[in-house]
Amino acid sequence: MTPAFGLIIVGDEILSGKRADKHMPKVIELLAARGLSLSYAHYVGDDPARITAALREAFASGDVVFSCGGIGATPDDHTRQCAAAALDRPLALHPQAAELIRERMRDVAREEGKPYEPERADNLHRLNMGMFPEGARIIPNPYNKIAGFTCDGAKSGGMVHFVPGFPVMAWPMIEWALEHYCAEWFHREPQTEHSVVVYRAMESTLTPLMVQVEAAFPGIKVFSLPSVDHPEHGRHIELGVKGAAALVPAAWRMLVEALHKTGAELGPEMVRNR
């Protein structure tokens, strides 16, 4: 079966409003391009106990989860340590990650016309960015070579991919992880969403119909999205069905036929596939 996909965004700057989260829309886009969808997203501040709890839940879930932020080496970066605590594993310097960090330091020294000093205190400190939970696998960073990492839950099959908070780094790294770890699920279960604008309707009067359609078609979800001040349609409800592409047409027919019987005023229809 295709696993659920989750997202964890780490950082006080998101919760305080100093930075706006851009990861969730991009992850939704990257998943949708591969016939997948995001099931949930969690936002966590720079609190080690909360980060550890969120990661412990992710590892135990059996889901594929992307964690963005907090994998640097400054005092407010806790994600690497919290991942190790959630897995009950020690942190260890990953040999390949360490070599990539050294490559980056050599590159910077060359660009600045300075000698590369591997034993200098700040360069030694940078190696902390390669300290991952024991058994981790690296995610290459095409922007500056400072790798992210992937870890598996011991028993559940949950997999968490850890990337930086910077979108310019995180997004290609998430895409790499999808291509290398999730390709078997791409476009495996085509999904369709079919909906219609229903003018001047009340959700309370539509609810029994929604319940009937879901009962008649297990696996289908019926949804309603009300709007009170849409610039084109005014007060209306977007009512529709979504689920496996093979199941949607029959559920859609039942829904529309019932709407016509009630005399509902219908507007444009919308179909979305992934």
* Residues 55-82, mean pLDDT to the nearest whole number: 96
For residues 98 and 140, membership in a common domain is answered with: yes
Mean pLDDT, the chain, rounded, equals 95
Overall domain count for the chain: 2
Asked whether the predicted pLDDT for residue 50 surpasses 90, the reply is yes
pTM here? 0.88
For residues 23 and 130, membership in a common domain is answered with: yes
Asked whether the predicted pLDDT for residue 7 surpasses 80, the reply is yes
Which DSSP string corresponds to 112-179? HT----TTSHHHHHHGGGGEEETT-EEE--TTTS--EEEEE-TTT--EEEEE-S-HHHHHHHHHHHHH
Of 185, 200, 230, the residue that ends a domain is 185
- Please give the share of the chain, as a percent, with pLDDT higher than 70: 99
Residue 43 CB neighbours (<10 A): 14
**CATH number, residue 263:** 3.30.70.260
pLDDT tens per residue, range 142-188: 999 999 999 998 776 789 999 999 999 999 999 999 999 999 999 98
For residues 176 and 232, membership in a common domain is answered with: no
Of 168, 185, 202, the residue that ends a domain is 185
Of residues 72, 54, 40, 26, the one with CA closest to residue 178: 26
For residues 248 and 126, membership in a common domain is answered with: no
pLDDT for the residue 27: 98
For residue 74, what pLDDT band results from cuts at 50, 70 and 90? very high
Of 119, 150, 185, the residue that ends a domain is 185
Helical packing angle, 48-61 and 79-87, nearest 10°: 50
Structural domain range at position 236: 191-273
Going by the DSSP 8-state scheme, the letter that residue 270 receives in this structure is E
**CATH number, residue 132:** 3.40.980.10
pLDDT tens per residue, range 8-19: 999 999 999 999
For residues 117 and 161, membership in a common domain is answered with: yes
* Residues 181-209, mean pLDDT to the nearest whole number: 93
For residue 67, what pLDDT band results from cuts at 50, 70 and 90? very high
Of residues 19, 33, 30, the one with CA closest to residue 69: 19
For residues 137 and 224, membership in a common domain is answered with: no
For residues 80 and 216, membership in a common domain is answered with: no
